[in-house]
Chain A
Amino acid sequence: MQIVVDLNRCQGYAQCVFLAPRVFELHGEEALLYAPTPPDDQAERVRRAAAACPVQAILVGERAGAGAGTDVR
């Protein structure tokens, strides 16, 4: 599984951090850090985090590149 977060869209609502705290991390109050290739056991949490993003900045794909932009679920 691969994740891409569009950090230009991200507004720091941090919904992803609540739902997948081992993949997404808030640095200070607003800056988002994340693991672009999370382990398989985090897949369900990552899907919940991507669905919850209020500005839909998280793209989830089975592999990065062309597929990532189409949000494979």
Chain B
Amino acid sequence: MSTETLLERINAYASRPDPYPLYTELREHGVARQDDGSYLVGTYHEIAALLHDPRISSDVRHRTHPDLRDRPEDLPPSFIAVDDPEHDRLRRLAMRHFGPPHSPGRIDALHDDIVDVARELVDGLRGRDRIDLVDDFAYPLPVTVICRLLGVPREDMPEIRGWTNTIIASLDRSPDEDPDGRLRAAAQARVSMAGYLGALAQRRRERPADDMISALVHDDGPEGRLTEPELTTTLTLLTIAGHETTVNLITNGMLTLLRRPEALERLRREPELMPSAVEELLRYEPPVQMLPQRTPLTDVEVGGVTIPQGVPLFLVLASGNRDPLRFEDADHFDPARRDNQHFGFGSGVHNCFGAPLARLETQVALTALLHGLDAPHLVEDPPPYRHSPILRGPRHLLVTGDVAAGAGA
């Protein structure tokens, strides 16, 4: 009956609240060729094989028909969009100031700051009979933390937010609409954001502060420093990623718990379960539903199908996370689940750079909300969703109840 491809149906806005039945259909198809020549993969073991296959590129310039309209010509792609060895070099230079082996304590040292930010935000909800968990909590928390980590001044956060929204909007590929306007706006936003971050880096060169931008511009490591264009695209990537994904993880997490009062109660009683509960959220409702940028460098056979060189390849991580061939009772949310090697942060060499920060933020955020909100419940279910099928999450999550009763506890 329907002539729409599975990818078009997944992309359709009406599918946003519950794309999981479409993913079940996708897994039944195996490796699924779409009418436009692209391929979708939604089964766990095939996704795992492709994520670890060096013949699968993250650089869309390897496509037979690459769409580069949102890429300004004078900015290089960031490490998320290039392959090794270039990806490895760029990522390693950034990692030197984010994590081990060079800076092992950076994220751990942020823990108390994150707790303070979460507490302040919960305190700010005191006396309100209705809150929006997105605008009042899940958005400001990671944005404040990423800006503090990088060294972006608080007063510049609204401008950063504007550019980020424009760039994120360009990731959507609605087939029924000409995307040129959105792509041009995104290219312009990338140039503006790079200009802003480049100027900020210059200020830190002259007057270093205790932040990641200062560390990057003063790096005296054996491999040298990022070039100026590399620095600004890396900072743009970290800023956007720090804005977009954790917001959805926190919001999807609260939505999942508010729908399951018994799980919510259990986490209140057993706070030591929070780390595994967050892993389960990453499996059950991952903020990045699919990787849309992969391309085979040669014909690649997987699941009995040959995916031709140069075609767009979509790895639907959120579908792999629900694959019953890999996970027992895959559609059940179990905060104490063992054997949970989910794709919430991808896998392989491109696995999420900020994963440790996102984990910590979400554990702290959900703990603060569970203890700060008394008898919260959803105002509308499903909530209104943001547009993107890739970075999927509620636009608003209205909650009511005795919001402040337990605040400050």
Please list the residues of chain A having a beta carbon within 8 angstroms of any beta carbon in chain B.
13-15, 17-21, 25-29, 44-45, 47-48, 50-52, 54-56, 71, 73
Interface residues of B, Cβ cutoff 8 Å to A? 92, 99-101, 104-105, 107-108, 272-273, 275-276, 278-279, 338-341, 345, 347, 351, 355-356, 359-360, 363
Q: Which residue of A lies closest to B342 (CB)?
A: A54
Apart from the given pairs A14-B100, A29-B101, A56-B339, 13 other A-B contacts in the complex at a CB distance below 8 Å: A14-B99, A14-B101, A15-B359, A17-B100, A19-B359, A25-B101, A44-B272, A45-B108, A47-B272, A51-B275, A54-B341, A54-B347, A73-B272
Cα–Cα distance between A50 and B273 once the two chains are bound (Å):
12
A residues less than 8 Å from B275 (CB atoms):
47-48, 50-52
On chain B, the residues within 8 Å of A48 by CB distance are 275, 359-360, 363
Q: 14 interchain pairs (CB within 8 A)?
A: A14-B101, A15-B355, A18-B100, A18-B107, A19-B108, A21-B104, A21-B105, A26-B101, A45-B108, A48-B359, A51-B278, A52-B355, A54-B351, A73-B272
Q: How far is the CB of A59 from chain B (nearest CB, A)?
A: 11
Give the complex CA separation of A48 and B276 in angstroms: 8
Q: Shortest beta-carbon distance, B49 to chain A, in Å?
A: 15
A15 surroundings in chain B (CB, below 8 A): 355-356, 359
Q: Is the CB of B351 within 8 A of A17?
A: no
Complex Cα distance, B97 from A18, in Å, reads 12
Contact partner of B340 (CB less than 8 A), chosen from A20, A44, A56, is A56
- A19-B360, A52-B356 in contact; A25/B272 too (CB < 8 A)? no
Q: Is the CB of A25 within 8 A of B341?
A: no
